[in-house]
Amino acid sequence: MYRSLKSKLFDEAYAPVQIGRFRVVQTLGQGGMGVVYSAQDLQLGRLVAIKVIRDDRLREGAKDRARLLREAQMQAKLSHPNVVQIHEVSESEGGLFIVMELVKGATLREWLDREARPLAAILERFVEAARGLSAAHQAGIVHRDFKLANAMVGEDGRVRIADFGLAVADQSQQETEPERTAGAAAAGHTSKHAGTPTYMSPEQVRGRDCDARSDQYSFAVALTEALFRRPPPPAIERLADRTGALALPADPPAPQWLRQALTRALSLDPADRFPSMAALIEVLVETPKRRRRRALAAGLVVALAGSTALGATLFAREQTKSQCSQAENGLASLWDDTRKAALHDAFTATGMPYAEKSWQRASSMLDAYAKDWADVSMSNCQARQSATLPLERHFAQSAACLDRQHDALATLLTDFATADRALVASADKAVAELSPPDQCRVTPTMQLIDGSVGPTKTRVRELLDRGKFLTITHEGRDAVAFLETALAEIRSTADVAGEAEALLLLGRAKSLLSDGPGAKDFLNQAYDRANAAKYSALKWEIWNELAQVHAVVFDDPAEARRCLDHAKSEHHPDPRAAEAAIAAVESGIFIAEKRPLDAVALRRQALATLKSLYSADRPEVSLARLSLAAALGEASQLQESHQMHAQLLADLQKEYGLEHPWPARVELNHGLDLRELQQFSKAREHLEHARGALVRTYGETHLWVAKADVALAQLDIDEDAIPQAIERLERALATYDAIVPPTHAERVNALVVLTEAHMTSGQATKVLDVNRRLLAVHRADSVHSKVDVPGVLANIGDALCTLGQCEEAQSYFAGLLAYDPTSEPLLQALGLRGIGLVQLRQGEPEIALALLQRALKLLEQAATDRTGLAAMQAATMRELAEALAALRRDPRRVRELRRRAAELESAE
């Protein structure tokens, strides 16, 4: 304030106030907990509200700070349209602040004071507030200070509950502590007495524990004040009156049912109130509806006295019924018995053994989808006919939403008519990707989307839907070429929202093929076009996809987290489904951060969310189970991982059949588990069967087939079938070269396994060739390379020395010494050993001896569980023995080194 005044008096500029990464814009208000500012988030580029906690609320230091952090973290977990979202809790210069969603609008008190509001409008606002409180209660949170000033009415008309500053967990989660003294409360400490006296429940006044029914009491006080322009007597006064009687004002008049509801909610004994906020909401919402229905029935009885009036009434009702019947039958022309029979024939014509089961699953899902779509369409039509509130924008948005779903279904059914094997295999997954009809249902509290609601041209939507289904069913293969052609056509129509969607799909298809740079480029373009089109509903998907690319393809968890923060801050049309999608990506970030246990916890949470949304046999649930099993493997919880793979395999084979590619993918993982357990015979049986099933659906040139070939090659190496292993690996590499970029992690892994096969067979020339290919991959794109460069340098040096080219090998071994010896002692050992070997071959055993002794010491200090360490130790021992023998020194040590080397080699 001082700097602002000074700048105006003396025309001086002053630096803006900054709290952490947030630049303060202006003061919004202050209360018992602290001061609230609007601020600019300099990292995410958005406006937020920041509550800076008053120092006197932290007088007990760490204990108060921990309590406030716990309360804010509880609310941050709560995501509901009628609750202000908390983004984060942080500290700056010793102070504590909470970053929240910035709601532009007025408090509920200000909204009431601006003009006289009709009863229907007041009830609509308070029902929204009640839903916010109910959601908090379901999350185990009690507000404890609900009042008119703590509810915001946004510019979009939606109410959001704010200021959970006094919130505590519900009694099932609340920690036990002695009641504070009156003196402590007066000193500003948070206690069971904290709150605003007018709105405090009787149990708060008495200093007793509060639960959801306490919030119900405060809510009823606020609603009474809104209706009668004055609150009921405070609880402390009613408690002093032995009768505790409550008499609501007679004026202005209010319906008797509403007076009864308020009287019950304001009972002094919590047991006499409504059992929950949900029960009170039902009274506030359903009672007016029942009264309207009774009024309509009474009106009809009166109208029977005049035949003209009766005829008019019946005509109007029949007209409404007829109009809504048309809405209900909107999908009849798309999904009828004739279409079903034709599509069934198309599926079975592929000749796949699982075609019949795939059709049954897909058609059952489509039946349910058509029923849901018709239900929403009918509900919206009936609501529009009887609407008394100004909901035209709601109906227009919902109609556009239903039209988009209608077109998407039409495109999918057209594709089903010419289904290939891959589409038949993934038919249920394609149906599952249709957006839920319930997203289009009109409700007074639905969130209206400003600006673009997506592509508007039918042809553009058809291209996008086809590209989406192709990406899903062919996993990026063939989708890129189709989408690039579609993008050119979409751009010619000047449909910017459609262009944004096409770019997102291209980014997703590139990501599936592990083309990180290509995916990143398309996704960045998608965000620019979504911004230009004001297509807000698409932004979270773009950011989430970028986070996935940075975590999985680029192995850059820091950048992935930044993208994920953006995704979380954007609008989500389907919050619970979005929550599961974001959790899946964040679990991948945890794995990139080497935090597999956190990844396991998050994938368990995502699986639980999906199980609450879908039936157990839905593709989304099966994929979540597979992801959880993979995370368990990363966390070395191998037993549970193996059990999950085995159970999922059994479930999928029962649901889809033995030859379907979905169970085949899980069977592939199960085979790898069995190899890890050294059950080679069973592993080979499962891997061969999985490969055969995958080939029958996708053909030989497919990523999953190549993955099966590499797994079988590793098994061949285990069992010394080296020529067969090399043949498989060369076939897999031909597939990778045809489909994915050179830096693809699985392609790199295939080259590493090929190195192992050539080493086992003693083919130094081929080892040299493969490792030079790996080094070329790294040098072509070192930023995104997954190549183990030190290992490659060591392999090249060893191969060159074996081929008598030790002088050339020296530069490769020297490259290993460039790594930090304190953080990478093993690389230092490999470098020293390599240069020692060069010196030995060049006739310098004295120099070689010193280098090899240092190398062996470092190798013996290395972690014993490192792959290939024993072989490297054995080789170094033999070379050290050779150097000692050349110098005619210590024959006893020479014999000991050779004996130990032989023991290590036999153990391998």
Counting every residue, how long is the chain? 908
Q: Tokens 């040299």 belong to which residue?
A: 768
H helix intervals, 55-97:
62-76
Q: Give the tokens for residue 193.
A: 């007495």
How far CA 493 is from CA of 2, 395, 586, in Å, comes to 55, 27, 37
Handedness of CA 623, 625, 629, 632 (dihedral sign): positive
Please provide residue 341's backbone torsions phi and psi, each rounded to the nearest 5 degrees.
-65, -40
User: What are the residues facing 154 on neighbouring strands?
Assistant: 105
Are 125 and 106 a contacting pair, CB within 8 Å?
no
**3-state secondary structure at position 141:** strand
| First and final C-alpha spacing in the chain | 75
Hey, what long-range contacts does 67-75 have (CB within 8 A, 24 or more apart)?
67/190, 68/96, 69/96, 71/164, 71/165, 71/167, 71/168, 72/98, 72/164, 74/139, 74/140, 74/141, 74/167, 74/169, 75/136, 75/141, 75/164, 75/167
Q: Give the tokens for residue 707.
A: 């993955």
Query: Amino acid identity, residue 539?
Result: K
Please provide residue 728's backbone torsions phi and psi, each rounded to the nearest 5 degrees.
-65, -45
**How many other CB atoms are there within 10 angstroms of residue 458's CB atom?**
12
Residues 6+ apart with CB under 8 A from 807: 838, 842
> Can you tell me the distance from the alpha carbon of 41 to that of 25, in angstroms, rounded to the nearest whole number?
10
> Can you tell me the distance from the alpha carbon of 284 to that of 293, in angstroms, rounded to the nearest whole number?
15
> Can you tell me the distance from the alpha carbon of 778 to that of 346, in angstroms, rounded to the nearest whole number?
46
- Cα dihedral: 650, 646, 588, 655 (round 10): 0
> Can you tell me the distance from the alpha carbon of 433 to that of 438, in angstroms, rounded to the nearest whole number?
14
Tell me which residue of 370, 367, 363 sits closest to 427, measured CA to CA.
363
> Can you tell me the distance from the alpha carbon of 625 to that of 638, in angstroms, rounded to the nearest whole number?
15
Query: Amino acid identity, residue 638?
Result: L
Query: Cis before residue 252, ω within 30 degrees of 0?
Result: yes
Are 103 and 38 a contacting pair, CB within 8 Å?
no
Hey, what long-range contacts does 597-602 have (CB within 8 A, 24 or more apart)?
597/635, 599/631, 599/634, 599/635, 600/628, 600/631, 600/632, 600/635, 600/637
**What burial letters (b/e) apply to 769-804, b meaning 16+ CB within 10 Å?**
ebbebbbebbeeeeebbbbebbbbbbbbbbbbbbee
Catalytic residue among 56, 64, 145, 720: 145
> Can you tell me the distance from the alpha carbon of 375 to that of 368, in angstroms, rounded to the nearest whole number?
11
User: What are the residues facing 18 on neighbouring strands?
Assistant: 23
Residues 6+ apart with CB under 8 A from 767: 755, 758, 759, 795, 798, 799
**3-state secondary structure at position 19:** strand
Q: Is 145 a catalytic residue?
A: yes
Q: Provide the strand spans (E) within 46-184.
A: 46-53, 86-92, 95-101, 105-107, 141-142, 151-154, 159-161, 168-169
Strands 168-169 and 141-142: antiparallel
Q: Which residues belong to the active site? A: 145
